[in-house]
Amino acid sequence: MKITKVQVIVHCPARNFVTVKVHSDQGVYGLGDATLNGRELAVSKYIEEYLTPSLIGKSPFDTEDIWQFFYKGVYWRRGAVNMTAIGAIDIALWDLKAKLLNVPLYQLLGGKSRNKILTYCHGHGTSFEDTIEKVLEKKEAGYEAIRVQSGIPGLDKIYGMNTKKGAKYEPAIAAETPFEEEWDTSKYLNHVPRLFEKVREAVGDEVHLLHDGHHRLTPIEAARLGKELEPFHLFWLEDLVAGEMQESFRLIRNHTTTPLALGEVFNTMFDCKTLLEEELIDHLRMAVSHGGGITPMKKIAALAELHHVKISPHGPSDISPIGIAAALHLVTAINNFGVHEYMGYEEQTLEAFPHAFKWEKGYLHLDETPGLGVDINMDLVDKYPYKKAFLPVNRLTDGTMFHW
Ligand code: GCO
Ligand code: MG
């Protein structure tokens, strides 16, 4: 059995996606998600020029050896572009392998550890009132876990806030250069505990509430926020400080019992080794596509299990249904799953990627479709050409460049 051809598809059905299609001499193909929001063409070119030629003629069953070949063979290891490219190939090979064996992918990863996958959605608003309304709507729709972000008085355009009442949150903006947002940490720190006090009062104790700090605090600021939110029993506080500084979490951990989540920008085991080994976080948020694929994520999940850390994958709309399905199969098979983010997709994206997984009453469900259970509609590829789009950048109100 041999790999005969690799196609890299870049298109924009509502937003940009990069998809890898690996063909075999059996007439069956596997799909992988290579989307890296705002840097799509760097990954597609990388796969076409540097990975594809080495794949032709290899057996699609040799997922471990192929992963090691690309990981060790690059010399310049790690990094988001490199690991997303390797991850997409790895996901496609696992999809292909499971299709050839005629089983859903989770059967090759340990079988079923659960019947359905808990999800959280976004309850975002412009003000306290608007946010509470959103959170109640999501609760009504069946979500048991809701991420809460809201506008901050005095700041016009910030992370996680909808620009208009009722609009869907989409961070990437089509343009030739990135859009600029603004930030003020003290306004944020004063606002968030008040927000959660009101939301908890409105929604009751049953719903899990989450919040994303998007890497903007210093360790001591993060410790203060965690401590002040303790009375509202959050499910987690996500990305409080920049993920590069794993050691920062020692200080935060010593000050608060609020559970901590981190890792959507991580791409290897080495980004979270200290966090796991010292039990500094509760949830690891790596996406399968950005984390180098199923092959390394299985190992990372095993290390996390040893340290009481749950795998709770990143699931924004800038990860395609292929990447989401890869995570769903992984978390179906492992024991230490926490929660999966699910924002849903625009109509055009759903049309572009027909898929078997379904969202119902707060949970995602897989069926018995062999492989990942996701396809790509090739007839729509030319209809939706790539449009350059960027994630925003961020400055303090005095103009200083800051974290986004
Ligand atoms: C999340 C995230 C996203 C990211 C986006 C980057 O927790 O869902 O923080 O909103 O910012 O996916 O591409
Ligand atoms: Mg996040």
What separation in Å is there between the alpha carbon of 27 and the centre of ligand 1? Answer: 36
For residue 137, the number of C-alpha atoms closer than 13 Å in the C-beta half-sphere is 13
Considering every ligand atom shown, identify the ligand nearest to the alpha carbon of residue 40 and give its number: 1
Average the pLDDT over 386-395 and give the result.
Answer: 96
pLDDT confidence bin for 164, thresholds 50/70/90: low
253-309: per-residue pLDDT in tens?
Answer: 999 999 999 999 999 999 999 999 999 999 999 999 999 999 999 999 999 999 999
Choosing from 264, 312, 339 the residue with most ligand 1 atoms within 8 A of its CB, the one to mutate for a pocket test is: 264
Average the pLDDT over 94-114 and give the result.
Answer: 98
Chain region(s) in the chain for CATH 3.30.390.10: 3-103
Residue whose CA lies nearest to ligand 1 atom number 10 = 316
Whether the predicted pLDDT of 314 surpasses 70: yes
pLDDT at position 166 is 57
Considering every ligand atom shown, identify the ligand nearest to the alpha carbon of residue 239 and give its number: 2
Whether the predicted pLDDT of 229 surpasses 90: yes
What separation in Å is there between the alpha carbon of 318 and the centre of ligand 1? Answer: 8
Residue whose CA lies nearest to ligand 1 atom number 8 = 316
Whether the predicted pLDDT of 14 surpasses 80: yes
Q: Strands 236-238 and 260-262: what pairing?
A: parallel
Strand intervals (E) in 41-185: 117-125, 145-150, 173-174, 180-183
Residue whose CA lies nearest to ligand 1 atom number 9 = 214
Which residue from 298, 353, 296, 301 is spatially nearest to 323, judged by alpha carbons? Answer: 353
Alpha-carbon distance values, 345 to 38, 191, 385, 393 (Å): 18, 30, 18, 24
Angstrom distance (rounded) from CA 279 to CA 101: 38
Report DSSP letters for 329-394, one per residue.
Answer: HHHHH-S-B--EE-----HHHHHHS-BS-EEETTEEE--S-SBTSB---GGGTTTS----EE--EE
> Given 3.30.70.1290, 3.40.50.2300, 3.40.50.300, 3.20.20.120, which CATH number is that of 109-372?
3.20.20.120
Angstrom distance (rounded) from CA 353 to CA 330: 20
What separation in Å is there between the alpha carbon of 99 and the centre of ligand 1? Answer: 31
Query: Active site residue: 159, 342, 345, 363, which one?
Result: 159
Name which of 8-22, 155-169, 234-248 the model is least confident about. Answer: 155-169
State the fold for domain 3-103.
Enolase-like; domain 1 (3.30.390)
Average the pLDDT over 16-38 and give the result.
Answer: 98
Angstrom distance (rounded) from CA 349 to CA 12: 8
CB neighbours (10 Å) of residue 84?
29
Angstrom distance (rounded) from CA 87 to CA 323: 10
Q: CB under 6 Å to ligand 1: residues?
A: 37, 171, 212, 214, 264, 314, 316, 318, 341, 391
Residue whose CA lies nearest to ligand 1 atom number 1 = 316
Average the pLDDT over 168-180 and give the result.
Answer: 86
Ligand 1 atom closest to the Cα of residue 160 is 10
Average the pLDDT over 56-63 and give the result.
Answer: 98
Chain region(s) in the chain for CATH 3.20.20.120: 109-372
What separation in Å is there between the alpha carbon of 54 and the centre of ligand 1? Answer: 32
108-118: per-residue pLDDT in tens?
Answer: 999 999 999 99
Choosing from 212, 290, 393 the residue with most ligand 1 atoms within 8 A of its CB, the one to mutate for a pocket test is: 212
Average the pLDDT over 193-217 and give the result.
Answer: 97
Helix (H, G, I), strand (E, B) or coil at 118: strand
What separation in Å is there between the alpha carbon of 316 and the centre of ligand 1? Answer: 6
Considering every ligand atom shown, identify the ligand nearest to the alpha carbon of residue 390 and give its number: 1
Choosing from 318, 319, 345 the residue with most ligand 1 atoms within 8 A of its CB, the one to mutate for a pocket test is: 318
What separation in Å is there between the alpha carbon of 263 and the centre of ligand 2? Answer: 8
CA 99 to chain centre: 25
Ligand 1 atom closest to the Cα of residue 317 is 12
Query: Residue type for 198, please?
Result: K
Q: Which helix (H) or strand (E) holds 275?
A: helix 273-277
pLDDT at position 156 is 84
What separation in Å is there between the alpha carbon of 168 and the centre of ligand 1? Answer: 14
Alpha-carbon distance values, 161 to 148, 168, 219, 298 (Å): 10, 9, 24, 34
Residue with tokens 């924004």: 316
pLDDT at position 167 is 61
Residue whose CA lies nearest to ligand 1 atom number 13 = 37
Residue whose CA lies nearest to ligand 1 atom number 6 = 37
The verdict on whether 159 is a catalytic residue reads yes
Whether the predicted pLDDT of 163 surpasses 80: no
Considering every ligand atom shown, identify the ligand nearest to the alpha carbon of residue 323 and give its number: 1
pLDDT at position 58 is 98
